[in-house]
Amino acid sequence: MSSLKFFENKKVRTDWDADKEVWYFSVIDEIEILTDSPRPRKYCNALKTKLKEEGNETSQKLGQLKMLAEDGKMRETDVADTKTLLRIIQSIPSPKAEPFKQWLAKVGYESMQEIADPAQSLDRAREHWQKLGRSEKWIQQRMTGQETRNKLTDYWKETGVSEKDKFALLTNIIHQEWTDLTVKEHKDLKGLKSQNLCDHMNEAELIFTALAELSTRQIA
């Protein structure tokens, strides 16, 4: 399950592998945070070359997953689990290294709590939206919409749809039914990039989205 997390208000794309119970983090996002480089991809490629030349096996342990890119499309990007990410951090001189390590530990600890008690995940989401100034009515609608979304994606998985880019394609089709806009066009309209579109919808938009996804599952 892909999601966005934030370190000091900077996004970190993540993916939770429920089967392995492992978090994967975007290496590019980590490098951008630690180095403040305007070209984190170039820095990443140079770092991988350097590590390889030094005989460091860390670069060989990187994986690739499709994650949401700045252009709104799902693109393959280098990812690393927590252990590998910590090794990469050691290779980057940065005053943010220690705070980032503590943040990683916090993410891991919260994940263990949420596995033991899934309600804690909802509590954290509610707390996040409250900090953004959302009303209780908006928060309730957002949570209802997320539950509807989860049931729809569970249905897709049961029918053999497994790749995340196919999820994105189907979501676009549903979204266009009531907005006449693709998800990317809707995000552009709101001035969004990598942020979650639903987190920036008004109550009416949340209701229409939930109804569209609910009817899709019922018709199927």
Q: What is the pLDDT of residue 185?
A: 92
Q: What is the pLDDT of residue 217?
A: 76
- Domain co-membership, 190 together with 171: yes
Q: Divide the 220 residues of the chain into consecutive groups of 10 and give the mean pLDDT of each group.
A: 76 80 88 90 89 82 83 83 87 90 78 53 77 88 89 86 77 90 90 80 92 79
Q: What is the pLDDT of residue 121?
A: 66
- Domain co-membership, 201 together with 110: no
Number of domains in the chain: 2
The arrangement of strands across the sheet holding 74-81 comes to 2-7, 10-17, 22-26, 74-81, 63-68
- Domain co-membership, 13 together with 109: yes
Which amino acid is located at 115 in the chain?
I
Q: How far apart, in whole angstroms, are the C-alpha atoms of residue 26 and residue 51?
A: 18
Residue 8, both tokens? 């000091």
Q: What is the pLDDT of residue 116?
A: 47
Last residue in a domain, options 116, 132, 152? 116
- Domain co-membership, 81 together with 14: yes
Q: Which residues pair with 6 in a beta bridge?
A: 11
Closest CA to 213 of 138, 135, 156: 156
Determine contact, residues 76/65, Cβ cutoff 8 Å. Answer: yes
Q: How far apart, in whole angstroms, are the C-alpha atoms of residue 18 and residue 187?
A: 28
Last residue in a domain, options 84, 116, 148? 116
- Domain co-membership, 98 together with 131: no
Q: What is the pLDDT of residue 34?
A: 92
- Domain co-membership, 19 together with 92: yes
Last residue in a domain, options 93, 116, 139? 116
Helix intervals (H) in 117-163: 119-131, 136-158
- Domain co-membership, 29 together with 42: yes
Provide the residue range defining the domain that includes 85: 2-116
- Domain co-membership, 175 together with 194: yes
- Domain co-membership, 142 together with 112: no
- Domain co-membership, 80 together with 137: no
CA 179 to each of CA 46, 51, 165, 184, 208: distance values in angstroms, whole numbers, following the listed order: 43, 48, 21, 12, 9
